[in-house]
Amino acid sequence: MAFQSFEELEVWKRGCRLAVEVNRALADSKEYALRDQMIRASISIPSNIAEGHERDSRLDFIRFLRIAKGSAAELRTQLYIAQRLSVLPKEQIEMLIQETRELCPMLQALIRSLRPVPAPLKTEN
């Protein structure tokens, strides 16, 4: 791996910023169940990146990155619901949705980079 700690990963940094933004945006929301679920999903993204990295197993790291990716999709779904309920201003929700859309390919790229490279096929001469 080209990094020593999860704190170096841009996807982890952006996940942390997203979690803070979601927490701040929903601080005064009266939609308690949706608010709590959205906060948990947002916190789950960087938390799973960190936990997977600290497991010291490439396969575990990949598994936790997939969980983080799922949490990003979960949060995006909840943002669409929040939009329909007018929980937050439209522009703010659109920005948060866009951030989840950008995190998913970053996570997928990291997953791909961690997969073992298949051995070349031997050809007989």
Long-range residue pairs from 47-53, CB within 8 A, at least 24 positions apart, any chain: 49/6, 49/9, 49/11, 49/12, 49/15, 49/107, 50/6, 50/12, 53/5, 53/6, 53/9
97 within a domain of the structure (yes/no): yes
- Would the pLDDT of 125 be above 80? no
Give me the CATH number covering residue 47: 1.20.1440.60
- Residue 102, pLDDT > 90, answer yes
Q: What is the mean pLDDT of residues 74-86?
A: 97
The total number of structural domains that make up the chain:
1
Residue 69 falls inside a structural domain: yes
Portion of the chain with pLDDT greater than 70, in percent: 92
Q: pLDDT-derived band of residue 117, with 50, 70 and 90 as boundaries?
A: low
> Is 120 inside a domain boundary?
no
Looking at per-residue pLDDT, the higher value among 15 and 123 belongs to 15
